[in-house]
Structure 1
Amino acid sequence: MTLALIAGRGHLPAEVAAAQAEPPLICAYEGIAPEALDVDLIFRLETLGTLLVQLGERGVTQVCFCGGIDRPTLDSSKLDAETTALVPLFQKALAAGDNGALQILKEIFEQTGFAVMGADKLVPDLVAPPGVLSEAWPDAQMRRDAARGEDVLAGLAPLDIGQACVIGKEQVLGVETMGGTDHLLSTLPPVTRSANAILCKGPKAGQIREIDMPTIGPNTLVAAHAAGLVGVVVDAGDVIILDSDRCAQVADDLGLVLWSRRGGEG
């Protein structure tokens, strides 16, 4: 066994595991259980050093971060001996934005001798291919809104706060922050329902793709519809679509547009 999954919530870890010729070692953060997988090792931020040792002892050479994990806090009373030396790096990471924190985490694993693999490299078919994936197609207004969404996400990138926004009639109705896409969709203003708005999702400039590649799944489409949106637009080649056939079917059942858009496409 040479691959370990640092598995978070959602179905992505199970999809990555199922695609491997040899079952990977499943590691989960305490209190966060991945779907449909048995966990081999449980860890906390305060025991990360011990996890690194355990991975080495088991012959692991590659790790893949997949699934959602909330930003942890550091409880110094729970530190173990193998992790104490990492505290300065933890403090630096916790004070940084998402990209900065993930870059430090990636470097910790790499400096310990592990290759950090993106889920998109292990399972290339997860990445959104270009094109309209639903029966419904984007109209002229949606195309303008998608272009506006691309500009908004590019403008948000230096702030390092999120990977998604909601656009309706070329107006910004919401942007993703630390609460994630689900929180964005559940807190949109009432005007969203009359604006034929869309969710736009794509990577930030400097995105740490190996750890935090933008992802949607069937539940994203259901939540978008519940929020009154008429479409979901993702960046082709830069977003993971979980169970893409099911996503297309859900989009069709709900009358949504599901568009994997190339940058700059009209």
Structure 2
Amino acid sequence: MLALIAGTGDLPPALVARLPERPLICALDGFRPALTPEITFRIEHLGSFLTTLVDRGVTEVCLAGAIKRPAIDPAAIDVATKPLVPRIMQAIAQGDDGALRVVIALFEESGLVVRAAHEIAPDLLPPAGVLSRKPVTIDQRQDAVTAEQTIAEMGRADVGQACVVRNGRVLAREGQAGTDAMLARFAPSDDPLWGVVDGLGAVLGDAAEWLSGADGEPTDARGALLFKAPKPDQDRRADLPVIGPHTAKGAVAAGLSGIVIEQGGVMVLELDDVVATLDAAGLFFWVRPKGGA
């Protein structure tokens, strides 16, 4: 029997739709998924939750969807969870991948097999190639190399799985808020200044290529590409990157030239809609083999 530990977002429903039988839906308190959970648990009751899964005949679990690090109330920790507290605190103190490795180990030590989302739904990993009508230029391919190197650097710090690059320059790195929030920083407002920048760009060229905000970071990402890939050494049974139509719309709103994802390392929800959105706006979509040119 499979239990789906469902976070927020569209991935958990996409997995359930692909399974021949509905799994046991579980959710961490405070992170209600777009599904009705049969079990909602608190992190302070993790030990009891693991026992409940085993008692109900669960043999496999899949962790899917977004969950932020919960606050822990020491007074609420139950007896079954007290022996796990040092491990839980170790997980909270680490980066995303390090934390997930600790959590996965706790499930495995309870006799549960942890299955990856893409193992359940392999069709969410699109084939390699440029899937859009818009081709990828030589300069954009070089930017993808820069972006891949950037993700590798970010991976060593165990933070983020996406970045925005233009002309060899990294304009943004994904933070805890996620890819869509990163792209939203570059979406133009209704400020008349945006129209002025269009005119200045034609006159001044690279000197007006982007504006800077108060912190010196670029606020204009037009012509840049979004690159998304897993951290180089992460445990791919959890937290494999995901994009979907909302990400495609965010890339269009930000004026990007296209999206690059690592083949076999990023799941795509509603692939046809993603490609159609990018095609309609003249953006490219490249599923790039790791290390590809």
Q: 1:222 to 1:195 in 2, by over 3 A?
A: closer
Corresponding position: 1:225 with 2:223: no
Q: Give secondary structure in 1 for the equivalent of 2:26.
A: strand
Q: From the CA coordinates, give the structure whose radius of gyration is larger.
A: 2
Contact between 1:161 and 1:177, CA under 8 Å: does it hold in 2? yes
In structure 2, what is the equivalent of residue 213 of structure 1?
240
2:97 & 2:154 partners in 1: Cα distance?
13
RMSD over aligned Cα atoms: 1.5
Give 1:144's aligned residue. 142
The corresponding residue for 2:285 is: 258
Q: Which residue of 1 aligns with 2:97?
A: 99
Provide TM-score, normalisation by structure 2: 0.86
Query: Residue 200 of structure 1 aligns to a residue in which SS?
Result: strand
Partner SS for 2:238: helix
- What is the alpha-carbon distance in structure 1 between the residues aligned to residue 82 and residue 240 of structure 2? 29
- Unaligned residue ranges in structure 1 (runs of 5+): none
Q: What does the per-residue CA deviation read over 1:190-227, in whole Å, with 9 as the maximum and x for residues that have no partner? A: 44646510110001122121111011111111112222
The aligned amino acid for 1:164 is A
Partner residue of 2:191? Answer: none
Is 1:243 aligned to residue 243 of structure 2? no
Q: Alignment partner for residue 234 of structure 1, among 261, 270, 273? A: 261
Q: 1: distance between equivalents of 2:69 and 2:53?
A: 22
Q: Secondary structure at the match of 1:4?
A: strand
2:158 aligns with 160
The structural deviation recorded for 1:136 is: 1.2
Point out where structure 2 has 5 or more consecutive residues left out of the alignment.
187-209, 212-217
Against the structure 1 CA distance between its residues 194 and 26, is the aligned structure 2 distance closer, same or farther, given a 3 Å change threshold? closer
TM-score (norm 1): 0.94
Task: Specify the alignment match of 2:73 in structure 1.
Answer: 75
Identity of aligned residues (%): 42
Partner SS for 2:147: helix
Output aligned runs, 1:43-54, within 5 Å.
Answer: 43-54=41-52
Q: Check the 8 A contact 1:118/1:210 in 2, yes or no.
A: yes
For 1:116, the aligned partner's letter is V
CA shift at 1:131, angstroms?
0.9
What is the match of residue 118 of structure 1?
116
SS in 1 for 2:9: coil
Give the aligned partner of residue 12 of structure 1.
Answer: 11
Alignment of 1:128-143 (within 5 A): 128-143=126-141
- Secondary structure of the 2:237 match is helix
User: Which one-letter code corresponds to 1:197 in the other structure?
Assistant: A
Contact in 1 for aligned 2:171/2:221 (Cα 8 Å): no
Residue of 102, 107, 111 corresponding to 1:109: 107
Distance 1:254 1:73 in 2: 42
Judge conservation of contact 1:168–1:192 (CA < 8 Å) in 2: no
